[in-house]
Amino acid sequence: MFKKIISTALFALLFTGLATAQRIAYVDVTDVLESLPDYQKAQEQLDKVATQWRQEMAQEQDKIKGMYSKYQAEQVLLSEEMKKQREEEIMNKEKEVREMQRQKFGPDGALFKKREELVKPIQDKVYATIQKYAEDKGYEFVFDKGSASGMLYADKRNDKTEDIKTILKKG
């Protein structure tokens, strides 16, 4: 009688464990994004804009160096008032360049906004595809393998990156 109760309890426990098994998958979102031509074009555009702005910054830095070199060369001939005026001009130019750099490359700068404008719609499409795939295939959780999600182990058969790429290629 005791053996029958224990075996029934074990069977019920095993059955409950199987019934509540969760389906989990992971996708390398970075790999998926990098495989999309639209994303590659957006990245190229961002790279061009960033390169152009860096060149502008470098030109401005060169102007500041030129101003400073000229000031050093003429310093002995300048009155105290003229020295202060030139030093202020150099400091103001440096401040102007730092502000330009913040406006272009800062956390809320033009490059960040441009990246959001170009890349966010592509990311949204990928995430929507992943969500639909997960719902259609019955996955309860899908992790992003490429981010710092804290995933310590992932069985290769749960990697659905190629499936998502295929779906996105089909349109």
> Tokens in use for 57?
């910054």
Cβ neighbours of residue 95 closer than 8 Å, sequence gap 6 or more: none
Q: What is the mean pLDDT of the chain?
A: 85
Phi-psi region of 138 (alpha: psi -120 to 50; beta: other; left: phi over 0): left
Query: E-strand spans in 63-155?
Result: 141-144
Over residues 44-72, the pLDDT tens digits come to 999 999 999 999 999 999 999 999 999 99
Confidence of residue 16 (pLDDT cuts 50, 70, 90): very low
Under 8 Å between Cβ of 142 and 26: yes
What's the rounded Cα separation, in Å, for the pair 79 and 85? Answer: 10
Cβ neighbours of residue 76 closer than 8 Å, sequence gap 6 or more: none
Over residues 107-166, the pLDDT tens digits come to 999 999 999 999 999 999 998 898 888 888 888 888 888 776 555 455 677 788 899 999
Over residues 67-77, the pLDDT tens digits come to 999 999 999 99
